[in-house]
């Protein structure tokens, strides 16, 4: 098989249709390889990105794979011919061993107690799926609801302001990522990424995520996708329990011995069960504050880590499209334009955009009574009128008082409660126009950009809800970001507060073997444990943890399926 990168197709050649795009790719690929198009045996898109550096001539760039009719011998001849002509740049032969699930464990080495995976976000789902495929019959517990019921609970909160503290945008199958667009781009590299994307497609995501440079699933599609991944786990021999939380962890002699699980029935009644467990995979997510407190009580080493806080910023998507794509804005082959901004200030602090949602909506992401939390999401079509992203600045461990490892959690909580008070209660969020924020003036009304936060906003000031160093950093960064992306600092863009849950404020310390450095049998993974920063990195961490568990039990942790 041959892989060819750098295939460029001008936007003016495209009409937004997939068939037209494939036909142009085939023609360009044949030209690059200097063969007749009839010799190509299929085309696989491996990557598709947009080059908009010249707005008057936007180009789509592809990496493609194909096989030639003559097989490996013809492919070798083509490579040789291109080399002689010094035209082989971007063309290579590929014969990759696919990255697979862990190999099946020998029944003789399998532990008496099955692994318990705590948390059904992406790290937990992919860890449990890996363990199930290895024959370990894991038990996956999730404090929130299954995806279908969770969607109804979130809709009820948006409509009434009633908050279910056990099932919400933070808690439930799929984790926080289910309601934040399902962005799958990542700055990390791993051979597991292709397996993760293929699993998402098998579970119902759009095939385009396999080749888009900035893939996303959409919060309207993700509930079905994560439901199907749960089904895969169960079909492979695992068990998944919703409305079931780890309420205690027995650590004796420096080793996990059992977990206490609290199951909540539909009528609200609760039952407790003590489950023997020598292997507990902790994939609790960045908002599982009760779990952090439990770990501190049980002596699991944790440390403060850098995290970020700020606000959501909203613009008209049409303005972002024009700023990035110029006269091509609105072309169906481009879709809604995304952006990614960062700004390093003379003070030594930085601000950056986070979880940018083209054509999206600001959401209510609270998980505790009396605290406002914002996040963002897009549907699969990204057709909303506004663009939004987190506008954040870092909180460093040295910014926090005292020596409490959970001081970052307390800072988050104080900011969330301040935002609740500033909004007047009922999970209404405080909002301020960018122009007023820069001038230090409270806002009394909006402008062109209508806020999308579902519980409504109270115009005023967001700066009262955040530490001074966060406010100062954002205020200094906005004009600089406006020079990076025209209009980013436009006066009537909307700031909605507060965004506090972009990442975990603690790290559950683990060693090279993947286990807690102080509690044998406890495997911290994913965002909550401080080892991931998004869907792809969390899922990867879950798979890699499962491989280490299988290897520790004498199995083939790295074997392909």
Contact of 281 with 288, CB cutoff 8 Å: no
What value does the mean pLDDT take over residues 307-312? 98
> What tokens does 213 get?
């440079």
Closest by alpha carbon to 511, among 556, 553, 559, 552?
A: 552
What value does the mean pLDDT take over residues 30-43? 95
514-541 confidence digits (pLDDT tens): 999 999 999 999 999 999 989 999 999 9
What value does the mean pLDDT take over residues 325-339? 95
> What tokens does 272 get?
């407790």
Does the pLDDT at position 559 exceed 60? no
Predicted pLDDT at 152: 95
Predicted pLDDT at 561: 40
Q: Where are the domains of the chain?
A: 2-93, 116-303+506-552, 306-499
Cα 94 from Cα 233, distance rounded (Å): 32
Same fold, 2-93 and 116-303+506-552: no
* 509 exposure class (CB count in 10 Å sphere: 0-12, 13-18, 19+): middle
Predicted pLDDT at 526: 96
172-206 confidence digits (pLDDT tens): 999 988 887 788 888 788 999 999 999 999 999 99
Contact of 181 with 357, CB cutoff 8 Å: yes
pTM over 0.75: yes
Does the pLDDT at position 560 exceed 60? no
Fold annotation for 2-93: Alpha-Beta Plaits (3.30.70)
Fold annotation for 116-303+506-552: FAD/NAD(P)-binding domain (3.50.50)
What value does the mean pLDDT take over residues 309-335? 96
> Where residue 105 falls among pLDDT bands split at 50, 70, 90?
confident
Contact of 104 with 555, CB cutoff 8 Å: yes
Contact of 349 with 394, CB cutoff 8 Å: yes
Cα 469 from Cα 518, distance rounded (Å): 35
Does the pLDDT at position 55 exceed 90? yes
Does the pLDDT at position 21 exceed 60? yes
Predicted pLDDT at 556: 63
* 159 exposure class (CB count in 10 Å sphere: 0-12, 13-18, 19+): exposed
């Amino acid at each position: 098989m041959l892989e060819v990168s750098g295939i460029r197709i001008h936007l003016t050649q495209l009409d937004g249709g997939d068939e037209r795009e494939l036909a142009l790719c085939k023609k360009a690929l044949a030209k690059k390889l200097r063969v007749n198009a009839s010799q190509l045996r299929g085309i696989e898109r491996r990557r598709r990105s947009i080059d908009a550096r010249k707005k008057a001539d936007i180009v789509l760039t592809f990496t493609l794979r194909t096989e030639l009719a003559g097989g490996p011998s013809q492919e070798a001849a083509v490579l040789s011919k291109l080399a002689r002509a010094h035209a082989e740049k971007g063309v290579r032969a590929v014969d990759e061993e696919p990255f697979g699930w862990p190999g099946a464990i020998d029944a003789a080495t399998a532990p008496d107690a099955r692994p318990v995976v705590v948390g059904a976000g992406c790290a937990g789902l992919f860890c449990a799926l890996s363990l199930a495929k290895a024959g370990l019959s894991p038990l996956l517990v999730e404090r929130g609801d299954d995806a279908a019921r969770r969607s109804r609970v979130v809709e009820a909160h948006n409509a009434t302001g009633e908050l279910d503290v056990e099932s919400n945008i933070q808690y439930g199958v799929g984790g926080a990522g289910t309601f934040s667009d399902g962005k799958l781009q990542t700055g990390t590299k791993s051979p597991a990424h292709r397996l993760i994307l293929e699993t998402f497609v098998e579970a119902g995501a759009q095939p385009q995520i396999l080749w888009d440079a900035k893939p996303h699933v959409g919060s309207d599609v993700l509930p079905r996708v994560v439901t199907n991944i749960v089904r895969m786990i169960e079909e492979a021999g695992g068990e998944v329990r919703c409305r079931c939380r780890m309420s205690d962890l027995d650590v004796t002699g420096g080793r996990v011995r059992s977990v206490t699980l609290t199951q909540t029935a539909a009528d609200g009644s609760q039952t407790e069960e003590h489950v023997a467990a020598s292997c507990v995979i902790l994939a609790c997510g960045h908002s599982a504050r009760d779990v952090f407190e439990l770990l501190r009580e049980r002596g699991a080493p944790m440390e403060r880590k850098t995290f970020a806080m700020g606000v959501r910023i909203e613009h008209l998507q049409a303005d972002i499209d024009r700023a990035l794509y110029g006269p091509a804005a609105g072309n169906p082959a481009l879709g809604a334009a995304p952006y990614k901004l960062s700004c390093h200030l003379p003070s030594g602090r930085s601000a950056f955009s986070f979880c940018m949602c083209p054509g999206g909506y600001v959401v209510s992401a609270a998980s505790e009574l009396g605290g406002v939390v914002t996040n963002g999401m897009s549907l699969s079509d990204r057709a909303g009128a506004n663009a939004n992203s987190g506008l954040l600045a870092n909180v460093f461990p040295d910014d926090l008082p005292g020596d409490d490892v959970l001081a970052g959690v307390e800072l988050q909580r104080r900011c969330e409660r301040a935002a609740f008070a500033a909004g007047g209660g009922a999970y209404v969020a405080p909002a301020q126009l960018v122009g007023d924020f820069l001038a230090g003036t409270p806002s009394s009304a909006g402008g062109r950009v209508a806020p999308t936060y579902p519980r409504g906003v109270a115009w005023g000031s967001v700066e009262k809800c955040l530490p001074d160093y966060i406010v100062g950093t954002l205020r200094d960064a906005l004009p600089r970001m406006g020079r990076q992306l025209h209009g980013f600092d436009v006066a009537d863009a909307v700031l909605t507060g507060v965004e506090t849950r972009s990442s975990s404020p603690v790290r559950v310390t683990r060693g090279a073997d993947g286990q807690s450095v102080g509690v044998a049998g406890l495997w911290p993974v994913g965002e909550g444990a401080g080892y991931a920063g998004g869907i792809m990195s969390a899922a990867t961490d879950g798979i890699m943890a499962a491989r280490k568990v299988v290897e520790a039990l004498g199995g083939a942790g790295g074997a392909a399926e």
